[in-house]
Amino acid sequence: MTEAKKQETDIEDATFARSLARSAQVEQSIDDNPGRFRMLTGDRPTGNLHIGHYFGTVQNRVNVQNRGVETWILIADYQVITDRDSVGKIRERVRSLLADYLACGIDPRRTTIFTHSQVPALNQLMLPFLSLVTEAELHRNPTVKAELAATGGRAMSGLMLTYPVHQAADILFCKANLVPVGKDQLPHIEQTRQIATRFDKRYGRVDPDNPIFPRPDALLSKATNVLGLDGGKMSKSRGNSIELGMSADETAKRLKKAKTDADRNITYDPENRPEVSNLLLLASMSTGERPEDIAARIGDGGGGKLKAEVTTALNDHLAPIRARRAELLANEDYLWQVLAAGNQHANEVAEQTLSQVKAAMQMVY
């Protein structure tokens, strides 16, 4: 590793540690006073949700929603075209996400679900926000760099380079102050805080005591990262995932092919036996039993017994979610109504914020 690269990694580690500590504080204040917070998260509608999303973030969103925090979920449709030429089967993807959310316990009476494309005032914030960042800063964003590297030499689009600024608009239009994210999204939260601060400095306030935009905090999920069934990152395109919408049989088939190792004695050892431990973790998250205890119960039963255990545990846990999901998809009109109501609410809030922005910028004619 070069000296410069090492320094960069050190800075990222320090930011991560700070964010973890801050997340712990925020968790405490949520319990003390949930009304202080507004949470926003988003997903790109590029595929169906899988158990990595479910155990990694969706459960956490439901949990925070149920603790009384006002919650917003963005189906980030414009973000689909940051790194691909086509939006794909976008309508189907959006519908599937709506069903996934509601089936998992997102409650449309408490949570606003909306899409970029139907909220013009949100997108308009992108213009003043872009003026607040430099091109060099955009190029330095480590997540954008990593995403670009992963596209295999494809030319970077202007939207790819500037999507963190668009994401700042996602967060700030509704004045969210809490953004549950994974580690890879931390640079975007930092960028968002910077934009909020710079806007305040450059244009001032409508209300002298309060800046127009809050400085949002990241909420790092405590959930352990679920791996794919081959031990790599779980993703639809690698065929190593289990989608919420899969049948129990499909789930069993996928798990049968999961990678294990040669040692028949099952133990929980994430460091040395990542694949076996990941399967134990999936069973554990499904039943609430400790992974060590599940391992002890399986003992010398080997990979076959382990897979049978995980299959039962996961299918049992997902059964009610899957049933609800199927019911929701059978009543498509309801799903589109939920989205229309969410979009309407998002528009009202976005227009209010944009009026404040125009006032601060003296663009009132």
The contact set with ligand TRP (CB under 6 A) reads: 40-44, 74, 76, 79, 167, 170-171, 179, 181, 185
Nearest residue (CB) to ligand TRP, 126 versus 329: 126
Q: Which residue is nearest to ligand TRP, using beta carbons?
A: 42
Nearest residue (CB) to ligand TRP, 181 versus 349: 181
Nearest residue (CB) to ligand TRP, 40 versus 148: 40
Nearest residue (CB) to ligand TRP, 76 versus 279: 76
Token duo for residue 250? 């499909």
Nearest residue (CB) to ligand TRP, 41 versus 251: 41
Give the shortest CB-211-to-ligand TRP separation in angstroms.
19
Q: Is residue 129 within 8 Å of residue 122, measured between CB atoms? A: no
Q: Could you say which DSSP state residue 206 is in?
A: S
Give the shortest CB-95-to-ligand TRP separation in angstroms.
18
Q: Is residue 187 within 8 Å of residue 143, measured between CB atoms? A: yes
Taking each helix axis from N to C terminus, what angle separates 302-330 and 291-298, rounded to the nearest 10 degrees?
Answer: 130
Nearest residue (CB) to ligand TRP, 70 versus 309: 70
CA distance 355 to 360: 9
Cα distances (Å, whole numbers) of residue 92 to 46, 79, 117, 292? 10, 16, 15, 40
Cross-strand pairs, 179: 218
Give the shortest CB-74-to-ligand TRP separation in angstroms.
5
Give the E-state strand segments of 227-365 in sequence order: none
Cα distances (Å, whole numbers) of residue 138 to 38, 188, 343? 27, 10, 29
| Cα–Cα nearest to 75, from 118, 103, 45 | 45
Give the shortest CB-117-to-ligand TRP separation in angstroms.
13
Nearest residue (CB) to ligand TRP, 84 versus 201: 84
Handedness of CA 130, 131, 135, 140 (dihedral sign): negative
DSSP string, 31-83: HH-GGG-EEEEEE-SSS--BHHHIIIIIHHHHHHHHTT-EEEEEE-SGGGGGS
Give the shortest CB-280-to-ligand TRP separation in angstroms.
27
Give the shortest CB-40-to-ligand TRP separation in angstroms.
6
Give the shortest CB-41-to-ligand TRP separation in angstroms.
5
